[in-house]
Amino acid sequence: MFLRELTDADAPRCAELEVQLFPGETPWSTEVFLADFAQPHTFYFGVQDGEPDGDGVLLGYAGLAMMGPVATPEFEILTIGTAPEAQRRGVGRLMMENICHIADLKDAPVFLEVRVGNDPAIRMYEAFGFELMGLRRNYYQPSGADAHTMKRAACAAGASHDNTEKE
């Protein structure tokens, strides 16, 4: 299992996973992923099974956007998901470590939204230093489910949050 940058060829698999992971919502399409991959200041990466020089299946994906002034940016996790069969195998942890590393290099905070009731994800985010900030009512559509907003404070490269808990 290894982390790698996503390419346009990964967009259909990401869209396939969205349908599996977010039933009852409006999942991102292949076209949405392709458009977002092309945006400046976005970082898309995923975890693939197997070895880097071999074939393998994309097990998870994440998108991160850098916003605000370049000198004092902040980051937002745009999307993150792990294939159902790969959950609790460290895929989410690997992606979160990379997200935090990117933000730490810029000494920048990270924001995200997570569905209320998604306790496994909330626990993982808390293990990486995220704290609940607020609530966005009717955030997920068409279900109308609420989302917690969470923030991880800026943490200069070299410092670390306690992320030793199992995902």
* Full set of structural domains in the chain with CATH: 2-152 (3.40.630.30)
End-to-end CA distance of the chain: 16
Which pTM was predicted? 0.87
The tens place of each residue's pLDDT in the chain, 167 residues long, gives 999 999 999 999 999 999 999 988 889 999 999 999 999 999 999 999 988 877 899 999 999 999 999 889 999 999 999 999 999 999 999 999 999 999 999 999 999 999 999 999 999 999 999 999 999 998 988 888 899 999 999 986 555 544 434 33
Kindly report the length of the chain.
167
Q: Edge-to-edge, what's the strand order for the sheet holding 110-115?
A: 2-5, 42-48, 58-67, 74-82, 110-115, 145-152, 130-140
Outline where DSSP puts E strands in 28-154.
42-48, 58-67, 74-82, 110-115, 130-140, 145-152
Task: Give the sign of the dihedral formed by CA 25, CA 30, CA 19, CA 46.
Answer: negative
Estimate to the nearest angstrom the gap between the alpha carbon of 66 and the chain centroid.
Answer: 13
